[in-house]
Amino acid sequence: MTSTDTATQRARPHTGSAWMILALACACQFMVILDSSIVNVALPSVREDLGFTPTGLAWVVNGYLLAFAGFMLLGGRAADLFGPRRMLVAGLLLFSATSLAGGLATAPEVLVAARLAQGIGAAMMAPATLAVINTSFTEPNARAKAFGAWSAAGGVGGMVGAVAGGAITTGLSWRWVFLINVPIGAVLIVVAMMSLAGTRIGRRESLDLTGAVTGTAGLAALIYGVMQSADHGWSSGLVVGPAVAGLLLLVVFTVVEARFASLPMVPLRLFKIRGVAVGNVMLLLFGGIAIAMWYFTSLFLQNVLGFSALQAGLGQTPAAVMFMVIARWAAALLPRTGVRPLVLAGSACFLAGFGWLSLAHADSGYVASVLGPTLLIAVGIGLTFPTLMAAATADGPEGDAGIIGGLAQTASQVGGSVGLAVLATAASARAASEAGGSSSPAALAVGYDLVFLMAAGLGLAIAVVSLLLPRHRRG
């Protein structure tokens, strides 16, 4: 028996406690996704109250996303070494404490620092939730259903964030956008301590510090550079410098992991598992599709059709509900159909839905031009997201469940960050070339239509990459 086998021995929870663990994992995923969107509507109130500059205000959102994506791999490996229970509880403690600090902040620097630390807490939590699902649900049908529920929880978080941010800011204060996490986090910490008592405690190995530093710094620098492109352009030194430094650090990270680390943070052998390698490529592409659907559709509703932020959130609610329903249904189908049929069906929905959405213009109506196509796209997301997560995490060794989960979520987050920068640049350039200027509703509509066509292309790319999976691959 190998050391890894020994390390992964644990008391498996019985069925009842396994579903309690799933409820905990879903609640944590809900919080993580909620806090990536709930702040958006509150930003004007935050700027007025704390005196943010326009550039500084963006870091209330970007700081969270940067830390979340940059520290995800480290959080995943830490879950393997120290145990998912410890990392989930530690992540919840940090997330809750920094939410309190953010809610009580009296200066811009304090709020941005709190959001950065909150993103690190989220990066500790998210891979641990996938690790406990992977190790608590070993039967394929039960695991597929668990992934469906976990994916749907993220959809609920995104939907609630879009609507609740406006309601909380209007009815209470922007501070409660952060403070609401504190009592919820306290309850989840208690649940985690109780329900995860029977899970494994990790393995007695040291953390690969060189890999941790180069991998985390490389991802953070790359994402930081990409984020700067919206304000400074792709040729700016503020974009090229961090992006090149990040890529060089990731090259060093790869060399260290392959040749020098005796216990690497990311074992490169994992990429020999076809599901892990292909699944992560598809998740990278999927990140751009998710950004096009939720972020740019919201902008279209507000900037072209004239919806308020709250109305835009409500306008996207039917699609979010559709996603949740289809995700649960896809999870039930996955053990019988395998990955590829669901991915191909989802890609067909992306092609049709985004193609339809790209026909919308400034005089379009909501029902015919936005509601219909977004419902179709939501079907595609529901079919593909839990399926891709299952494909990218199902075949790895149990002792690497944390890092495999971290890889999957990092791929999706990096895809979203890069996708946002590329799509936003394309939309701005296309709108600027239109008569009436880049800020007129008609010009903006043309720019967003280009984004939707590019997203359809990403859907086609996912379909092509899925052909690399074994024909009869199951979830």
Two structure tokens written together for 161: 């964030």
Which of 148, 120, 85, 90 has the alpha carbon at shortest distance from 389?
148
Evaluate whether 123 touches 71 at the Cβ level (below 8 Å): yes
Which of 106, 137, 145 has the alpha carbon at shortest distance from 15?
137
* Cα atoms found within 13 Å of the Cα of residue 375, Cβ hemisphere only: 9
CA-to-CA distance for 373 and 449, rounded, in angstroms? 13
CATH class of the domain whose range is 13-202: mainly alpha
**Torsion sign (Cα): 120, 190, 394, 337:** negative
| Residues contacting 286, CB < 8 A, separation 6+ | 384, 385, 388, 412, 415, 458, 462
CA-to-CA distance for 123 and 437, rounded, in angstroms? 40
pLDDT of 431-446, one tens digit each? 888 755 557 888 888 9
Domain boundaries, the chain: 13-202, 208-264, 270-475
Two structure tokens written together for 84: 């998912």
Two structure tokens written together for 209: 């510090």
* Residue 435: per-residue pLDDT: 59
Judged by average pLDDT, the poorest of 108-122, 242-256, 293-307, 360-374 is 293-307
Per-residue b or e along 51-65, where b marks 16 or more CB atoms closer than 10 Å to that residue's CB: ebeeeebbbbbbbbb
pLDDT of 269-287, one tens digit each? 888 888 888 888 999 899 8
Per-residue b or e along 409-446, where b marks 16 or more CB atoms closer than 10 Å to that residue's CB: bbbbbbbbbbbbbbbbebbeebbeeeeeebebeebbbb
**Torsion sign (Cα): 316, 321, 326, 328:** positive
Q: Across all residues in the chain, what is the average pLDDT? A: 82
pLDDT of 142-177, one tens digit each? 777 787 788 777 777 776 776 677 677 777 888 888
For the domain made up of 270-475, give the CATH fold. Answer: Growth Hormone; Chain: A; (1.20.1250)
CA-to-CA distance for 409 and 455, rounded, in angstroms? 20
Angle at 228 between CA 226 and CA 229, to 5 degrees: 70
Two structure tokens written together for 298: 């919201």
Residue 380 pLDDT greater than 90, yes or no: yes
The DSSP secondary structure of 26-53, one letter per residue, reads HHHHHHHHHHHHTTGGGHHHHHHHHT--
Give Cα 283 to chain centroid, integer Å. Answer: 10
Q: CB 465: neighbour CB atoms within 10 A?
A: 17
CA-to-CA distance for 55 and 67, rounded, in angstroms? 18
CA-to-CA distance for 396 and 273, rounded, in angstroms? 7
Phi, psi at residue 16, to the nearest 5°? -60, -50
Report CA Rg, the chain: 21
pLDDT of 393-434, one tens digit each? 777 666 677 778 778 888 888 888 788 788 888 888 888 887
Residue ranges in 104-208 assigned as alpha helix (H): 108-136, 140-171, 176-179, 181-195
State the average pLDDT over residues 119-124: 90
Task: For residue 270, give the amino acid letter.
Answer: L
Q: CB 362: neighbour CB atoms within 10 A?
A: 17
Most confident stretch, 179-193, 223-237, 325-339: 179-193
pLDDT of 24-74, one tens digit each? 888 888 888 887 777 776 777 888 888 887 667 777 877 888 888 888 888
Which of 383, 403, 394, 404 has the alpha carbon at shortest distance from 462?
383
Evaluate whether 391 touches 283 at the Cβ level (below 8 Å): no
Task: For residue 298, give the amino acid letter.
Answer: S
Which of 201, 249, 215 has the alpha carbon at shortest distance from 407?
215
pLDDT of 308-317, one tens digit each? 767 777 888 8
Which of 51, 50, 287 has the alpha carbon at shortest distance from 178?
50
